Amino acid sequence: MKKKLGLSPDDEIPQRVIGSGTSLDSARFRQALAEKFQSGEIPGELSLLFCDHPDAYVVERAKKLNVPYESFTVKECGGKKPYEERLLDLLNANQIDFLILAGYMRVIGAEIIKTFENSIINLHPAYLPEYPGLHSIERAFEDHVQNGRTETGVTVHYVDCGLDSGPIIAQRHVPIYDEDTVDELEERVHECEHILFPQTIKRVLNDRIAYEKGSN
């Protein structure tokens, strides 16, 4: 049975799972987040890392940090529906309260959204509602080249059934300079992500913990 929102009975802090990406930068970022949980800088117990790419480097990072992990693909599950059912079973079996998505490149299904309503947050490399979906940095850079765009951004938002359409929690603009290459812009966006996302996770979890303590 999934635990009540937010708190575990032993230490009164929420558990959570990170859905992860596949790039080397993603792996480093997930490691940095894991270390912040383990040091207590971010409140909560890092209970599970899930990745839908079993060969992703982030799995090796999880092993080194002794973070429990699980990985399986849509293909090996026989389609999206059984994949989502297996994922939901995994989350419930680990008594997960809160999900953090960073580089998880799949749309979350309605049943998981319903089960974890207002308990899933995502990091998106654009200033939403601009550039939802894939290739956000490349699209912003193309607008810079073609139309003189001077900024893009980073957004942390709650996940709903739409495409990067959930309520926004935090945002920050990222400048695009005339001399930029797309790689330089991508690096600047990632630098912003690495600051904004941990700060926002910490604030959201602290607010949840305070709310739970006040309602008990």
Q: Starting from the edge strand earliest in sequence, which strands make up the sheet with 98-102, in order? A: 69-71, 45-51, 15-20, 98-102, 120-124, 151-158, 168-175
The answer to whether 53 is a known catalytic residue is no
- State the catalytic residue, choosing from 124, 144, 157, 190: 124
Angle at CA 22, nearest 5°, toward 167 and 108?
35
Q: Rounded CA gap, 64 and 20, in Å?
A: 16
Task: Write the single-letter amino acid at 134.
Answer: L
Query: φ, ψ for residue 67 (rounded to 5)?
Result: -90, 125
CA angle 156, 46, 81 (to 5 degrees): 70
Q: 130: which residues sit within 8 A by CB, 6+ positions away?
A: 140, 152, 153
- Joined together, the tokens standing for residue 169 give 């929690």
Active-site residues: which are they? Answer: 124
